[in-house]
């Protein structure tokens, strides 16, 4: 069985869904995931532009509402309508759009849409089938609901940072990854909550409100840390590039001859079979001297993991990794079923034939206004019947005003002029 | 009155193990789907392993905290898939399930005669979800990953760290969680498609791609601007690269007299200033010390240019205060700040998580005690999710599944038992 992705003739899983996307830079990944799967997602943004349009990096390093790469990536396949929903007419137009929408996504501070008369009570009165998803740093309720956050604050409070950092640098701070991983994790749950509500609506016809907390999304994304407390009342320590632990474990980052790092695993291998293959592999490179000793085979079969012999084997494998380019260790290790990897920078995957050619992970997305196309990362799952697809680059600011507002909603030409002049659109 | 569970009536046949797969079925189970976890006596989920210890210091396959955490609300049946009668039983279960989820290496189900096409013969609208490092499709389908492997390849490890140091990466399998989230999302999308069209499908989830999709702007900076992410000074630790604003960092606080693994544990907080207004509020909240009026910190551009000195001065203020004290002092002035919370903090001193019942209690099915756990990070107006019962002791629901789900007779069950199918 093969999955042939992106065949134009194939349907898309969410092609029946109409989504209004009112989110800011916290929540825009939700709508992207749905748009890439076929939903019609309309970004309703202030005439000054969505907040992410003002955050870099920018195309050719020129700040401009249509040049933000952060916005480009998170708004593929969406359309853009500018609308000032804080004005009476703007709110009225949004309510008109809600009548025909299946889903509304938003990430304003709790209570803000209510203050505009656009809260869930109001909107569900207009359209009881509406699924409305509100993504906020702490959720709609509780003593922290009005606290201020950023991706960094969410990564701190959710417990991510307590587990990430260094043990080989004395007194190093806990580290939050670059790349807005807190928001992304909140958005993953936001889409999950939204799709759950959509599925429930399939069964019952009932819409509902989904209240998603980024703080909670991160608080359940720390693997063993929570069970460590729930069951053992213990706090793990941070370690460089490897699992937090209740006790220290050996390093897993190894230097290679080309300066890149290898992420090693299971060193020396726990299974005798893999150990034998490891020795053969090193032997082929004339680096196995002394390692064929029966003593080591015995210790490994006995499951010994520490002590001078294991330290010695670890050093020898470290020397071996250091003697060759990182890619040789990565592929060589995988050939003998060791889950080794090279530590890549994101752009270094563009040349990976498995992802690029076999899985079509890096489609070229056309930017007609620039006369260019650029490779974009795709989607984390291949669907055999309803593939993800890059139909269109992120919209220019207000690119779809004319089609959506005047052609589809029937606003008159004179009103369009008036709204434009009064900066409602 | 309890609200309905949104996925009630959906049945999932669950061959997953460790974290990535169980994370996905944990979510579907919390939402009300019936999760039938198939294990084998000899090849049970290794998170049951005694090597991980056991609740109360007593090891045992039914006493692992890690297993409990990822497998509540599920049912367990033991089936030996190496025996023809065992495989027959698995096929019977496929024929009455909505969804099959597995995270074996990429050829296991094929070997069992349960490729997607073969599953369709048993259940035409089956939704089959495979979760692996590289996906089942492509030349590297046989490569294997753990969380850190996938993180290293995807670029995520590289994106986390101090400038000009080795990557700090992630201190756990973030991509086990995230692959599980993507699998749950894909499954829900496929259920929606099935609800509309009657058509099932195969979803091939890749753990490495689950990381690669989180690197979009960095990849575009390369494909559109030619600027590689791998460059001196990158990443920038906890400082903000886009937008380039300061102060934005982690700061030392007063430590507790707490010893972890032989080392005193340093406590930290973070402060995140985005606008000029934030900066003014911040200066006032810390008592407007003289340096805040210094010309070196007058504008954001100045603060960025003198960030090392700025961070040093801020730390002078934070270092004799507890992280939650810093957080509340600054938050009450409207400034984004947070304690770097440990697992203990989240459970013991986070009134927000308590107030939303994110931390719940669940009775253990083997140990006669209830334990706390965390739940799903969203609330519904018309439905709910629930931690209904603890994780299943190995094989504890075999009889229920054979009689109630499959409707097998006592005779049929006895015959299988004789052949050591369970």
Instruction: Tell me what pLDDT residue B263 has.
Output: 58
Residue B14 to residue A333: CA distance in whole angstroms:
30
Element (H, E) at A29: helix A28-36
**CB nearest to B171's CB, from A13, A54, A238:** A238
Distance from CA of A423 to the nearest CA of B (A): 24
Residue ranges in chain A modelled with pLDDT below 50: 1
Is A243 annotated as catalytic?
yes
Chain B residues within 8 A of A240 when measuring between CB atoms: 166, 168-169
Assess whether pLDDT exceeds 70 at residue B236. Answer: yes
CA proximity to A336, closest of B132, B105, B143? B143
Q: Which of A341, A352, A379, A394 is most worth mutating to test chain B (most B CB atoms within 10 A of its CB)?
A: A341
Distance from CA of B261 to the nearest CA of A (A): 6
Annotated catalytic residue within A54, A74, A243, A367? A243
Least confident of B18-32, B34-48, B80-94, B311-325: B34-48
Instruction: Tell me what pLDDT residue B148 has.
Output: 97
pLDDT in tens, B121-152: 999 999 999 999 999 999 999 999 999 999 99
Query: How many CB atoms are closer than 10 A to CB A228?
Result: 23
Q: Which two structure tokens, joined as six digits, stand for B8?
A: 């009630």
CB contact under 8 A, B260 and A56: no
Residue A187 to residue A208: CA distance in whole angstroms:
18
Instruction: Tell me what pLDDT residue A3 has.
Output: 60
CA proximity to A31, closest of A74, A70, A72? A74
Chain B residues within 8 A of A223 when measuring between CB atoms: 19, 147, 172-174, 176-177
Assess whether pLDDT exceeds 80 at residue B119. Answer: yes
Q: Given strand A131-136, what is the order of strands in its sheet?
A: A79-82, A40-45, A18-21, A103-106, A131-136, A208-213, B378-380
Instruction: Tell me what pLDDT residue A238 has.
Output: 95
Q: State whether residue B381 sits within 8 Å of chain A by CB.
A: yes
Distance from CA of A416 to the nearest CA of B (A): 34
Chain A residues within 8 A of B183 when measuring between CB atoms: 381
Query: How many CB atoms are closer than 10 A to CB A92?
Result: 11
Chain Cα centroid distance, residue A36: 14
Instruction: Tell me what pLDDT residue B154 has.
Output: 98
Buried b (16+ CB within 10 A) or exposed e, A126-135: ebeebbbbbb
Residue A88 to residue B162: CA distance in whole angstroms:
48
Assess whether pLDDT exceeds 80 at residue B294. Answer: yes
User: Is the Cβ–Cβ distance between A78 and A32 less than 8 Å?
Assistant: yes
Distance from CA of B289 to the nearest CA of A (A): 23
CA proximity to A153, closest of B335, B246, B353, B170? B335
Instruction: Tell me what pLDDT residue B260 has.
Output: 58
Chain Cα centroid distance, residue B12: 19
CB contact under 8 A, B268 and A217: no
CB contact under 8 A, A154 and B338: yes
Residue A33 to residue A31: CA distance in whole angstroms:
5
For B265, which residue in chain A has the nearest alpha carbon? A237
Pairing of β A261-263 and β A253-255: antiparallel
Chain A residues within 8 A of B143 when measuring between CB atoms: 334, 339
Distance from CA of B251 to the nearest CA of A (A): 8
SS3 breakdown of chain A: % helix, strand, coil, rounded to 5? 40, 15, 45
- Report A:226-285 residues touching B (Cβ under 8 A): 226-248, 252-253, 261, 263, 265
Residue B46 to residue B68: CA distance in whole angstroms:
12
Instruction: Tell me what pLDDT residue B53 has.
Output: 76
Q: What's the start-to-end Cα distance of chain B, in Å?
A: 39
User: Which H, E and C letters describe B260-322, residue by residue?
Assistant: ECCEECCCEEEEECCCHHHHHHHHHHCCCCHHHHCHHHCCHHHHHHCHHHHHHHHHHHHCCCC
pLDDT in tens, A185-219: 999 999 999 999 999 999 999 999 999 999 999 99
User: Is the Cβ–Cβ distance between B329 and B316 less than 8 Å?
Assistant: no
CA–CA distances in Å: residue A422 to residues A45, A47, A144, A404, A408: 16, 10, 37, 19, 21
CB contact under 8 A, A209 and B347: no
Is residue B59 classed exposed, middle or buried when 0-12, 13-18 and 19+ CB atoms within 10 A define those classes? middle
Write down the H helix ranges in B72-141.
84-95, 108-111, 116-122
pLDDT in tens, B370-421: 999 999 999 999 999 999 999 999 999 999 999 999 999 999 999 999 988 9
Range B171-190 average pLDDT: 98
Q: Does the N-terminal peptide bond of residue B235 adopt cis geometry, omega within 30 degrees of 0? A: yes
Angle at A80 between CA A74 and CA A82, to 5 degrees: 125
Beta-bridge partners for B204: A382, B130
Instruction: Tell me what pLDDT residue A134 has.
Output: 98
Q: State whether residue A209 sits within 8 Å of chain B by CB.
A: yes
Chain B residues within 8 A of A245 when measuring between CB atoms: 261
DSSP letters spanning A334-350: HHTT---EE---GGGGT
Is residue B354 classed exposed, middle or buried when 0-12, 13-18 and 19+ CB atoms within 10 A define those classes? middle
For A239, which residue in chain B has the nearest alpha carbon? B171
Chain A residues within 8 A of B371 when measuring between CB atoms: 230-231
Percentage of residues in chain A having pLDDT higher than 70: 98
Instruction: Tell me what pLDDT residue B50 has.
Output: 67
- pLDDT confidence of B262, banded at 50, 70, 90? low
CB contact under 8 A, B140 and A345: no
Q: Could you tell me the pTM of the whole model? A: 0.98
User: Is the Cβ–Cβ distance between A188 and A213 less than 8 Å?
Assistant: no
Sign of the CA dihedral with A210 first, then A211, A214, and A220 last = negative
């Amino acid at each position: 069985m093969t999955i042939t992705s992106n065949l134009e003739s194939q349907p898309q899983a969410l092609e029946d869904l109409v989504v209004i996307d009112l989110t800011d830079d916290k929540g825009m990944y939700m709508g992207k995931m749905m748009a890439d799967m076929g939903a019609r997602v309309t970004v309703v943004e202030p005439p000054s532009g969505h907040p992410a349009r003002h955050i870099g990096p920018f195309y050719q390093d020129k700040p401009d509402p249509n040049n933000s790469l952060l916005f480009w990536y998170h708004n593929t396949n969406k359309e853009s309508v500018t609308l000032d929903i804080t004005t009476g007419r703007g709110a009225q137009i949004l309510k008109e759009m809600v009548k025909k929408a299946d889903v509304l996504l938003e990430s304003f501070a709790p209570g803000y849409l209510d203050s505009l008369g656009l809260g869930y009570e109001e909107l569900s009165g207009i359209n009881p089938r509406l699924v409305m998803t509100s993504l906020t740093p702490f959720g709609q309720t509780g003593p922290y609901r009005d606290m201020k956050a950023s991706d960094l604050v969410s990564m701190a409070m959710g417990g991510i940072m307590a587990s990430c950092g260094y043990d080989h640098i004395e007194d190093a701070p806990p580290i939050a990854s670059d790349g807005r991983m807190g928001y992304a994790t909140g958005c993953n749950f936001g889409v999950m909550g939204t799709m759950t509500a959509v599925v429930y609506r399939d069964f019952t016809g009932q819409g509902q409100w989904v209240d998603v907390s980024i703080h909670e999304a991160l608080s359940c994304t720390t693997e063993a840390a929570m069970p460590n407390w729930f069951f053992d009342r213990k706090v793990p320590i941070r370690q460089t590039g490897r699992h937090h632990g209740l006790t220290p474990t050996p390093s897993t980052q190894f230097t290679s001859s080309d300066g890149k790092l290898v992420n090693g695993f299971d060193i020396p291998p726990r299974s005798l079979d893999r150990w034998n293959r490891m020795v053969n592999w090193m032997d082929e490179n004339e680096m196995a001297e002394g390692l064929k000793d029966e003593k080591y085979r015995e210790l490994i079969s006995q499951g010994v993991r520490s002590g001078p012999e294991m330290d010695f084997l670890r050093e020898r494998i470290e020397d071996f990794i250091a003697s060759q380019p990182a890619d040789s260790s990565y592929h060589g290790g995988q050939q003998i079923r060791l889950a080794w990897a090279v530590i890549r920078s994101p752009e270094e995957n563009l040349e990976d034939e498995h992802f690029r050619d076999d899985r079509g992970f890096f489609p070229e997305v056309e930017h007609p206004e620039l006369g260019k196309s650029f490779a974009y990362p795709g989607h984390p799952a291949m669907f055999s019947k309803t593939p993800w697809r890059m139909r269109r680059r992120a919209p220019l600011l207000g690119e779809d005003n004319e089609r959506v507002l005047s052609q589809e909603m029937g606003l008159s030409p004179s009103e369009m002029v008036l709204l434009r002049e009064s900066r409602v659109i | 009155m309890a609200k309905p569970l949104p996925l009630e009536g959906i049945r999932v046949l669950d061959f997953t193990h460790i974290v990535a797969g169980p994370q996905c079925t944990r979510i579907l189970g919390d939402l009300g789907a019936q999760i039938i976890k198939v294990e084998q006596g000899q090849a049970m989920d290794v998170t049951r392993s005694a090597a991980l210890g056991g609740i109360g210091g007593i090891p045992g396959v039914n006493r692992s905290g890690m297993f409990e955490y990822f497998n509540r609300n599920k049912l367990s049946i033991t089936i030996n898939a190496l025996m023809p009668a065992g495989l027959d039983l698995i096929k019977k279960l496929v024929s009455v399930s909505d969804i099959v989820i597995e995270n074996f290496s990429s050829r296991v189900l094929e070997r069992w005669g349960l490729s997607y096409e073969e599953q369709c013969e048993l259940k035409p609208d089956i939704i089959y979800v495979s979760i692996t490092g590289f996906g089942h499709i492509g030349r590297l389908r046989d490569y294997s990953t753990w969380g850190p492997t996938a993180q290293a390849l995807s670029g995520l490890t590289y994106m986390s760290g101090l400038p000009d140091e080795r990557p700090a990466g992630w201190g756990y399998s973030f991509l086990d969680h995230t692959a599980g989230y993507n699998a749950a999302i894909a499954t829900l999308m496929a259920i929606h498609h099935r609800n509309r069209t009657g058509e099932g499908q195969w979803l091939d989830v890749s753990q490495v791609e689950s990381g690669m999709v989180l690197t979009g702007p960095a990849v575009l900076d390369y494909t559109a601007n030619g600027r590689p992410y791998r460059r001196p000074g990158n990443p920038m630790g906890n400082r903000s690269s886009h937008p380039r604003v300061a102060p934005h960092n982690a700061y030392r606080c007063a430590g507790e007299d707490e010893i972890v693994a032989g080392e005193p544990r340093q406590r930290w907080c973070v402060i995140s200033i985005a606008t000029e207004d934030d900066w003014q509020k911040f200066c006032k909240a810390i008592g407007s010390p003289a340096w805040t009026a210094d010309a070196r910190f007058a504008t954001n551009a100045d603060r960025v240019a003198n960030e090392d000195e700025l961070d040093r001065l801020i730390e002078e203020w934070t270092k004799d205060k507890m992280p939650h004290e810093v957080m509340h002092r600054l938050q009450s002035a409207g400034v984004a700040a947070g304690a770097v919370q440990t697992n203990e903090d989240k459970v013991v001193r986070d009134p927000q998580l308590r107030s939303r019942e994110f931390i719940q209690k669940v009775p253990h099915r083997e140990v006669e005690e209830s334990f706390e756990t965390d739940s799903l990070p969203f609330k519904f107006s018309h439905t709910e999710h629930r931690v209904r019962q603890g994780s299943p002791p190995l094989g504890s629901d075999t009889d229920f599944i054979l009689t109630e789900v499959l409707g097998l007779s006592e005779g049929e069950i006895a015959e299988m038992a004789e052949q050591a199918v369970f």
